[in-house]
Amino acid sequence: MVQAIILVGGKGIRISRLYPDRPKALIPVAGIPFLEHQLAWLSQGGVRDIHLASGHMSEAIQEWLCPAEARSQKSEVRGQRLARHSQPSRGEGGSEISKKTDGIHGQLFRISKAIFFPFSSDLSLSFSAEPSPLGTGGGLKHVEKHIRSDPFLVLNGDSFLPHLDFAAFRQAHEQAGPLASLAVTTIRETGRYGTIEFDPDRRISAFHEKAERQEGWVNGGAYLMDKKALAPFAVGKKISLETDIFPELAAQGQLRAFPVPPPLLDMGTPEGLSAMERYFEISSNNLDRS
């Protein structure tokens, strides 16, 4: 089973003025913290082993995931069900929470079958915090020791590709054999995004800076990576997946594109958050009528 690493360490400067009291992953979308939408998406796609790689306001994510009351208990703890808002509530059932030191800062909490979501009762969640801002690549390298599958899935903590088929994504990655595969999708008016070029064999050949274009292929914020892709990079260095690791892999012919139908939902701006709200509200209404 593939493990997912969700990168929830960013500050979200463009959206933080709306919610200065919480990290971007816990901003409510249609009344539910965005992170809960992501966990439901992963669970429905068959991905149930998930690590949260946090940084900025990591204490809030830790508290949301596992309240201090539960962390203070040394043996059996009551199961915690995450409510549909930012604060968890008490639930039924019990399990154990084990913890161990995670480098300089924070602790790793591994919670197995302890979180009773409406969408799954068998999620295995773990959490860690980086000691200082390390960027998307540095943050991923920091949690390398917690990666339990090869390949592993990486998700940005602020975007959502509702039509991504996780099983097909993994199959394509393993058949092609690159060190990393990027889920890509088309978008109109790509000014907020850099665009990606790839050949008929889906080898990514170029990344273009943000520019005003009518349409193009863009990074969908979901990646499959082999552990070897992280090997050349040092722990504790500030590195970007997008500008350091991926261009280097592309130059080696080791980066493939996996096209996914739109939309790409990105809550990085107030406008993106509004579009995401509309999508989830429409989806919820359609489910209610079915």
Q: Is the pLDDT of residue 274 over 90?
A: yes
Residue 88 has what pLDDT? 31
Q: Is the pLDDT of residue 201 over 90?
A: yes
pLDDT in tens, 100-141: 323 323 344 444 333 434 445 577 888 899 999 999 999 999
User: Average of pLDDT values for 77-95?
Assistant: 29
Residue 213 has what pLDDT? 65
Report residue 288's pLDDT band, with 50, 70 and 90 as the boundaries: low
Residue 243 has what pLDDT? 92
Length of the chain: 290
Q: What percent of the chain has pLDDT over 90?
A: 54
pLDDT in tens, 183-197: 999 988 767 788 999
User: Would you say 178 and 146 are in contact if contact means Cβ atoms under 8 Å apart?
Assistant: no
Tokens of 269: 């701006």
User: Would you say 237 and 248 are in contact if contact means Cβ atoms under 8 Å apart?
Assistant: no
Task: Write 148-152 long-range contacts (CB < 8 A, 24+).
Answer: 148/3, 148/49, 149/1, 149/2, 149/3, 149/49, 150/226, 150/227, 151/2, 151/224, 151/225, 151/226, 151/227, 152/2, 152/3, 152/4, 152/5, 152/224, 152/225, 152/227
**Omega within 30 of 0 (cis) for the link into 151:** yes
- Tell me the whole-structure pTM to 2 decimals: 0.82
Residue 100 has what pLDDT? 34
Residues 6+ apart with CB under 8 A from 11: 24, 56, 133
Helix (H), strand (E) at residue 102: none
3-state class of 42 per DSSP? helix
**Strand boundaries in 113-194, DSSP class E:** 124-129, 152-156, 159-160, 180-188
Q: Which domains does the chain have, with CATH numbers?
A: 3-289 (3.90.550.10)
Tokens of 155: 């998700």
3-state class of 247 per DSSP? helix
Q: In terms of Cα–Cα distance, which of 148, 136, 163 is closest to 240? A: 136
Report residue 214's pLDDT band, with 50, 70 and 90 as the boundaries: low
d(CA 175, CA 89): 44
pLDDT in tens, 44-70: 999 999 999 998 888 888 888 776 655
Q: Is the pLDDT of residue 39 over 80?
A: yes
Q: Is the pLDDT of residue 10 over 80?
A: yes
Residue 68 has what pLDDT? 61
